[in-house]
A = this chain, B = another copy of it.
Amino acid sequence: MIDFKRTHDCGTLTKKYIGKTVRLSGWVHRRRDHGGLIFIDLRDRFGLTQLIFDPTVCSNAHNDAQNLRSEWVITAKGKVRSRGEGLTNPKLHTGEIEIEVLELTILSRAKTPPFSIADETIEVSEELRLKYRFLDIRRGPILNNLIVRSKAMQVTRRFLDSQGFLEISTPILAKTTPEGARDYLVPSRIYPGNFYALPQSPQIFKQILMVSGMDKYFQIAPCFRDENLRADRQPEFTQIDIELSFETQDPLFRTIEELMQMIFKDTIDADVSSPFKRMEYKECIEKYGTDKPDLRFDMPLTRLDDLIERSEFTILKDQLSTGGCVKALTLKGGAKLSRRQIDELVAFVRPFQLQGLAWMKRTDEGFTSNIVKFFSEDLLNELGSKVEAESGDLILIAAEKESIVNQALDHLRRHLARAFNLIQPNDYQFLWVTDFPMFKLDETTNMIESEHHPFTSPHFDDMDKIDSDPLSVRALAYDLVLNGYEIASGSQRIHDGGLQQKIFHILRMSEEDIQEKFSFFINALSYGTPPHLGIALGLDRIIMILSNTENIRDVIAFPKTQKASDLMLQSPSHAANDQLRELDIALEPSQITWV
């Protein structure tokens, strides 16, 4: 039997091991032949160690080393020695030593990889990287992301377990849930023509667990949505799913804040301060145009409706008279932008249905631009102070329907931050956005709908407005936002049967609708439901932020493309006819062309 049991991994040996005999096993990362000697960088998950093959020390090993190619797996026994003056590599933990090899065994050979593992700087198409995912992982960045992911999962469970949460696995062969996205279906063989659905989230199950008296539940849960994928979505994704009974928002927020602090500390050694900022949904939209503002830079939106009314700026006043609004934002130091640069900003907002941007520069000479003429001197000064523009700044003004202004300025705000480097690296700005609206009006049907889902509790202070003015009712629904991304969402749930009926009534759901959509769940809630609330954190998004990547596929071991296919497995694929017959499914498979 070949002895391949390592005494050390490839990332451990330093000067203090000099003189020791060791055995290392790993992959040939690089080979260099130099002055009769052969140098191998041997690689494993823990690092690189330099092996040196000297024909005068062991001619057998040196001979065999001549055959070694990249990515072959070998085991080598040898002596740790100093690399000697001027030959050390300070970038490597093992950079001061090398192994003088006395014995070499090839454990397995490797075909030439389709792209270089050793040279990370070579650009490889993502399709090729996904097809050869097992080689892409070896390259380093993906491996590091997976290590971060593993650490984040461990600290999450350790912390929630220590807080008395029970980890309960809920079914994957489940049933259509009321989330509203498209389910993945699984045909039943025993009952042909019937289907399981993969869960879009464990929402129903976790509420049922509260009815069961489980008190505090968590799960790192796989979730499934058969949607047309955007770049940051996957058909299967992962939620840190939490629910607890007899509690309210504040203690849950504290728990999540502590959890996030521990995750950031344990994975990337970042210190996150708490308590996190909080902002009501309404204020958040007013100030940032979005419910997920990036707070790593300032630059709030300022409403100018009243000020514009007092100006001579007819075009903007027309917007106000037709129900629109006027908001501005100030780019610090933006007065130095050229006319062309400002035109580019105007072009940037156009895809968001904003026809234009008015603008003014404030300099030591006062306000300049072709719209200054519509304002009195006093009004200009009032505007300047209102939008906190000082000399050297640029004021950008948008007027349109409120939702359009908000969306466009939100995008513009983030665009400016990127374009003018306003974001510090390793800055983590958390924000709780609270008190989301309970209902919204569907603009086409003019019907009242749930903003979150119909089991979300109204705000305790707004109970008296549910009948009289439902659209003004706030929900006990909250999101956690980090650096402009929604990383968690949750709510207090309704535990009172009477209140639940009232909400269904406002949503104009008939008893029949309710039974069809939620029958067993509504029934379960009628057997003694405790007050409860919960939250779901998007693990993939959190790992993306920790790993500093915009690509969700970088944080999942075996991800799928935007067409929901796995290029490595070549899945989905044809099924055996026998099995389709058992499922009573007859259809012609469409052809897939794999890269």
Is A549 interfacial (CB-CB < 8 Å)?
no
- Do residues A45 and B171 form an inter-chain contact, with CB atoms below 8 A? no
Selected contact of A560 from candidates B71, B173, B185, CB within 8 Å: B173
A528 and B73: CB pair below 8 A? yes
Indicate if A558 sits at the interface (CB-CB under 8 A). Answer: yes
A450 proximal to B (CB < 8 A): no
| Beta-carbon contact of A590 and B191 below 8 Å | yes
A25 nearest in chain B by CB position: B246
| Minimum C-beta distance from A361 to chain B (A) | 50
**Which residues of A (433-485) have their CB < 8 Å from a CB of B?**
460-461
A379 adjacent to chain B (CB < 8 Å): no
A150 touches B168 (CB 8 A): yes
Interchain CB contact under 8 A, B585 and A4? no
Q: How far is the CA of A73 from the CA of B529 in the complex (A)?
A: 7
A552 on the B face (CB < 8 A)? no
Determine the chain B residues whose CB is within 8 A of the CB of A560 once the complex forms: 171, 173
| Interchain CB contact under 8 A, B187 and A527 | no
Residue of B nearest to A587 (CB): B193
- Given contacts A137-B212, A526-B110, A531-B107, A172 and B222 within 8 Å (CB-CB): yes
Given A194-B589, A528-B71, A589-B194, A189–B573 Cβ distance below 8 Å?
Answer: no
**Are A212's CB and B138's CB within 8 A?**
yes
Indicate with 1 or 0, residue by residue over A542-556, a CB within 8 angstroms of chain B CB atoms. 000000000000001
- Cα-based distance from A154 to B461 in the complex (angstroms): 40
Contacts of A157 in B (CB 8 A): 153-154, 157
A524 in the interface (beta carbon within 8 A): yes
Question: Closest CB-CB distance, A205 to chain B, in whole Å?
Answer: 7
Bound complex: CA A208 to CA B566 (Å): 14
Residue A362 lies at the interface, judged by CB distance under 8 Å to chain B: no
- A199-210 CB mask vs B (1 if < 8 Å, else 0) is 000000100110
Contact B583–A134 (Cβ < 8 Å): no
On whether the beta carbons of B531 and A4 are closer than 8 Å, the reply is yes
User: Which residues in window 567-595 of A have CB below 8 A to B?
Assistant: 568-575, 579, 582-590, 592
Residue among A5, A168, A192 facing the most chain B CB atoms (10 A cut-off): A168
CB distance from A286 to the nearest CB of B (A): 26
Q: Which residues of B contact A574 (CB under 8 A)?
A: 193-195
Q: Which residues of the partner chain B approach A75 to less than 8 Å between Cβ atoms?
A: 246
Residue of B71, B246, B563, B582 near A190 (CB, 8 A) is B563
Query: Nearest Cβ in chain B — how far from A162, in angstroms?
Result: 9
Decide: A190 and B134 in contact? CB cutoff 8 A: no
Copies in the complex: 2
Distance from A533 Cβ to chain B, minimum over Cβ atoms (Å): 11
- B566 and A175 contacting across the interface, CB-CB below 8 Å: yes
Q: Which of A176-184, A364-372, A402-410, A502-510 contacts B (4 or more CB under 8 A)?
A: A176-184
Contact between A187 and B185 (Cβ–Cβ < 8 Å)?
Answer: yes
Known: A108-B496, A185-B186, A571-B175. A527 touches B194 (CB 8 A): no
Q: Which residues of B contact A240 (CB under 8 A)?
A: none
Query: How many angstroms between the C-alpha atoms of A161 and B496 in the bound complex?
Result: 43
Say which residue of B137, B194, B497, B592 sits within 8 Å of A194 (CB atoms).
Answer: B592
Q: Given A211-B134, A526-B111, A557-B209, is A146 in contact with B166 using a C-beta cutoff of 8 Å?
A: yes
CB proximity of A195 to chain B, nearest CB, Å? 5
**B183 contacts A184, C-beta separation under 8 Å:** no
Closest to A250 in B: B5
Q: Tell me whether A195 and B572 are in contact (CB under 8 A).
A: yes
Residues of B within 8 A of A527 (CB): 71, 110-111, 113, 132, 134-135
CA distance A115 to B572 in the complex (A): 46
A309 located at the interface, meaning its Cβ lies under 8 Å from any Cβ of chain B in the complex: no
The yes or no answer to A198 lying at the interface (CB within 8 A) is yes
Q: Does A289 contact B (CB under 8 A)?
A: no
A6: chain B residues within 8 A (beta carbon):
246
Are B569 and A175 in contact, CB atoms less than 8 angstroms apart? Answer: yes
- How many Å lie between the Cα of A43 and that of B245 in the bound state? 13
| Residues of chain B within 8 A of A171, CB atoms compared | 236, 558, 560, 566, 569
Is the Cβ of A584 less than 8 Å from the Cβ of B587? yes
The chain B residue sitting closest to A247, CB to CB, is: B5
Q: Which residues of B contact A170 (CB under 8 A)?
A: 557-558
* Closest beta carbon of chain B to A578's beta carbon, Å: 9
Find the B residue at minimum CB distance from A109.
Answer: B497
Contacts of A53 in B (CB 8 A): none
Per CB-CB distance, the 8 closest pairs between chain A and chain B, nearest first, are A193-B589, A110-B528, A1-B460, A137-B212, A194-B572, A175-B571, A188-B572, A71-B528
- Contact surface of A with B, Cβ cutoff 8 Å: 1-2, 4-6, 9, 25-27, 43-46, 71-73, 75, 107-111, 113, 132-135, 137-138, 143, 146-147, 149-150, 153-154, 157-158, 161, 166-176, 182-198, 205, 208-209, 211-215, 222, 224, 226, 235-236, 238, 246-248, 251, 460-461, 495-497, 519-520, 524, 526-531, 556-558, 560, 563-566, 568-575, 579, 582-590, 592
30 A-B pairs in the complex with CB atoms less than 8 angstroms apart: A5-B251, A6-B246, A26-B530, A71-B527, A73-B495, A73-B528, A107-B496, A108-B529, A111-B527, A134-B527, A137-B213, A146-B168, A150-B166, A150-B167, A150-B168, A153-B167, A154-B161, A158-B158, A169-B222, A172-B222, A173-B236, A188-B572, A189-B226, A190-B564, A191-B590, A194-B590, A195-B572, A195-B575, A196-B571, A205-B557
